[in-house]
Each structure stands twice: as structure tokens, then as C-alpha cells.
Chains A and B, each alone.
Chain A
Amino acid sequence: MNWDWNVVNDFMPRFWDGVLVTVQALAVGSLIAFALGLVWALAQRSARVWVRWPVVAVTEFVRNTPLLVQLFFLFYVVPNFGPSMSPLATGIVGLGLHYSTYTAEVYRAGIDGVPAGQWEAATALSLPRGRTWRAVILPQAIRRVVPPLGNYVIAMLKDSPMIATIGAFDMLGEAQTFSNETFTTEALTVVGVAFIVIAYPASLLIRVLERRLVR
């Protein structure tokens, strides 16, 4: 196999375009997944059936259908009756929504992991419910959820190339079109290395956080 650095050089401008898309999708997608997941987790604990039941149904549905199908649905079907968004925005919403159903489970486990005694102490002090959540329960739950949330960020990174299927060209999307146009393979290798360069330090960081936060 012949490795040609000139090909790599030619690919670089488009590689950086792809990196930008990947990083945007990952950063904004993660924020959506973190925020929406918490909303799902709290709604699933609601005392009101008409809040709890639809949320459970939606999150189960989203979690148990493929991300690719959801991306197609958001991009090709939703604009028929709802908002029409750019490929990148659609991809970000799709990733965020899909992963929010996983982060919801993470939050649920984190909240359940706070001992019952903490709720009882808050009751004994007559702390209002909202204050109990904000000052007592969530701060303790967050420590437990940071490491698993980090793992889902890495999983999302690895799923991010799927958004290329609706036209948001991430690193891999750029590499693939470049390779097809030039009948070369170097670009794909570059992107493979780029994934490791991003993902491995991230997983090390998560391990450090895990050691610090979970005591």
C-alpha cells in the first residue's frame, strides 16, 4: 500500500471543515442530551400520571429505535408538518434527542442512588420540595452521573458520522466524499486517527473525574 502525504495535504482543508461539524454536533448535542435527559428523568418521577406516562412512552420509543431512522424522520418527514432545519441543526437535534433518552436513565439511577435518609432529613427540616431537589438531591446525584454521562459523550462522538447521511458532513463524511472523488484512502485513515485522538484522552479524563467524584 502506498501512502501519499500529498493526498493528506490536499484533504486537510476539508478535514478541518469536518472537524468543525463534528465538534459542533458533539458539543451542542451533549448539552441538549444533558438538559433534556434531566427533564425526562424528573418528569418520569412526577406524581401525575398524565406527565409520567407520555414521557415514559416517548423516551422508550426513542431509545429503542435506531438513530439513523430518527435522523431521516427529522430531516425528511418533520418539515412536512413542522420546522425545517439545516442538515447540521437537524443532526444536532437528532443526536441530542436520541442520547437524552440514555442520559435520562443515568440521571434516574443517580437520583435513586441518593439514600432515602436524605429525603427524610429534608422532610424533618421542612425543606420545600424544590429546595430539596436543588440543594440536597441533585448535587449528590450529579457526582454519580458525571462519569456515565461522559461515556455517552464518547458514544455520541462515535455515532456522529451518521449525520452525514442527511448532508451534515462531519470528519468522516468529508473523508468519504474526498476519497471517492480522488480514488484514495489516506483521508479515511486520517479521520480514524482523529477519532482516537479525540476519544482516548476524553475517556482518560472521565476516568479521572470518576476517581475524584465517586467516593
Chain B
Amino acid sequence: MSADTHSAQTLDTLANPPVDGSELIRFDQVTKRFGDNTVLDRLDFSVDSGKHVTLIGPSGSGKTTILRLLMTLATPDEGTIWVGGDCLTHEERGGRLVRAGEKHVREVRKNIGMVFQQFNLFPNMKVLRNITEAPVTVLGLSRDEAEERARGLLELVGLGEHVDKYPTQLSGGQQQRVAIARALAMRPQVLLLDEVTSALDPELVAGVLDVLRDIARTTDITMLCVTHEMNFARDISDQVLMFDAGRVIESGPPEKIFSDPEQERTREFLSAVL
């Protein structure tokens, strides 16, 4: 049997679809390798709807890979990923379970937004168009609706007066806030934050984190966050997952993880970064 198909199985038998209505993301025995390097090793974890979860751990422990798998920028070698009750990695076709096709992936992926370390704004588009492009072409909003939504989001991130600038005319912190607005414009259920302050000059970090705190406090969006800003993680997280060598070695509320971790490995990591 090829790795792509599970001919005898259906979605129901391969893995139990999330039963609890509050569970939004689930990784089921997910393995990801790059060459000989196993980045994720039969990983299981789930995130409930509306929760803010922070992934911490040494670099190379697989945190960013988790976000990239969810965003379908990479595909798992084994296992299944569920988002909002839909399977992101597989679909049923003719009674057989096959690796998800582009169309299926696109549908499920619409619920997910991502903010990148390097912002990745489109430099050929003005700020406003960066934000309206996807709502217009993907969600089918009219240009006016999309622009109204974009202006509102730019106010939210404190950049209302920069709609007509090009990204290169903005500071790194401002660019990252535009990127946050761009992701939110798609009204995703899940927002993935991949070391969003790591590429910023130190004095610009606070502005971006303040915006994210605001969003965490005022919306019910589910956040999955990879960061080295431990104070920020403590502030916004409902749950912290400590990763090492492709597995979750400890998880719990931030008060517990940061002040009284159970694992020696967690203690070592925290004393190195705090």
C-alpha cells in the first residue's frame, strides 16, 4: 500500500473525527521528516476553539513545522491533521481515503491565517491592496466591502493613515502589523503566529505584541503561537506546550509551566531563555 492511500479505511476508521464540538485543531500521530531528520515524531495534540496556545522549546524542536503543516506549506509523512472537524491532510474519494487534493485543502485552509517572521507582505501592492486582495479574490467580497474591512483592521492595528503606502515605506513593526491585519481580513478561525517579532528591531517589538494582546483579549479567534517572547507567552496563553525533539514533553497553563515546570528539560530551557 502506498503511503498516499489507505485503501481499506475511511475517514471514520482512520481516526476518530473530533467529537467534542469545542476541539478545533487536532494532530493525530503526525510524523514529519526532512531527510534523515525526524522533526515531528508521532505527535498528538489538540487545541480547543478560542484558546491561545503557545509552543515553546529549543530551536529545531519542530514548533515552526507544526504551523507550516497547518498552513499546508508542508505535508506530513504520516498521520492526520484536523481543523474544525475537517481533515486537512486526507479526503475520501470513491470510498477510498487519499491524500487531500488542492481543492479540498483550499476549502479547509480558508479557516486558517498565518503571520510570518519575515512579514511576507506583497511589495508590489499598496498596504490597502495587500489586505483586500484575498478577501476579494478568494472570499468574493466586493472591493468596497473589502476596503471597508481593511480600513477597520488598519485602525485596529494603529495604521489607519498608512493605507496608501507601499510596504517598503513602513518600518518592520508597521509591516508586521499590516501582515496581522491581512491575515485577519480573511476572518480565520485560527491565527498562526510564527516568531512574529524575531525579525524586528527591539524597540518595535512592543507595538506588535500590544496589537496581538488586543486581538487575543477582544476576539474569540484561536491562536497558535511560536515565540521566544516568554513574557508575551505568559500574558496571552491559556496553555503552553513545551517541545523537545519533535514531541510535547510538557503542557499546562503558563503559570504552571513558567514557575513550576515538572520536566527537568523544561526547567533548563526556561532558565536559558528567561
Task: Flag whether B133 is at the interface (Cβ < 8 A).
Answer: yes
The answer, yes or no, to whether B88 is at the interface (CB within 8 Å) is: no
Q: Is the interface of B mostly helix, strand, loop or mixed?
A: loop
- In the bound complex, CA of A209 to CA of B209 (Å): 40
A-B contact pairs, 22 of them (CB 8 A): A115-B118, A115-B120, A117-B118, A121-B116, A123-B73, A124-B73, A124-B113, A124-B114, A125-B133, A125-B182, A125-B186, A126-B134, A126-B138, A127-B133, A128-B137, A135-B122, A135-B133, A136-B124, A139-B124, A140-B123, A140-B124, A215-B168
B166-223 CB contacts (< 8 Å) to partner A: 168, 182-183, 186
Residues of A within 8 A of B122 (CB): 118, 121, 135-136, 140
* Chain B residues within an 8 Å CB radius of A125: 113, 133-134, 138, 182-183, 186
- Which residues of A lie under 8 Å from residue B125 when comparing CB positions? 135
- B116-133: CB near A (< 8 Å → 1, else 0) gives 101011111100000001
Q: B72: CB under 8 A from chain A?
A: yes
Q: Does B110 contact A (CB under 8 A)?
A: yes
Which A82-132 residues sit within 8 Å CB-CB of chain B? 115, 117-118, 120-121, 123-128, 131
Task: State how many residues of chain B have any CB contact under 8 Å with chain A.
Answer: 25
For the complex, what is the distance from the CA of A116 to the CA of B156, rounded to whole Å? 29
Using a CB–CB cutoff of 8 Å, the interface residues on chain A facing chain B are 115, 117-118, 120-121, 123-128, 131, 135-136, 139-140, 143, 215
Are B138 and A127 within 8 A (Cβ)?
Answer: yes
- Return the chain A residue nearest B137 by Cβ: A131
Q: Give 3 nearest A-B pairs by CB, closest first.
A: A125-B134, A121-B120, A117-B120
* CB-contact partner of B183 in A120, A123, A124, A215, under 8 A: A124
CB of B165 within 8 Å of the partner chain? no
**Which B residues are CB-close (under 8 A) to A117?**
116, 118, 120
Taking a contact as CB atoms closer than 8 A, the residue among A118, A127, A215 that contacts B137 in the complex is A127
Nearest-neighbour CB distance to chain A for B130, whole angstroms, equals 9
Instruction: State whether the Cβ of B149 lies closer than 8 Å to any Cβ in chain A.
Output: no
Nearest CB in chain A: distance from B136 CB, A: 10
B186 closest partner in A (C-beta): A125
Docked Cα-Cα span, A127 to B109, in Å, equals 11
CB distance from B9 to the nearest CB of A (A): 28
B72 contacts across to A, CB distance below 8 A: 123
- Other A-B pairs beyond A115-B118, A131-B137, 9, CB < 8 Å: A120-B73, A124-B71, A124-B112, A125-B138, A125-B186, A126-B109, A127-B138, A128-B137, A128-B138
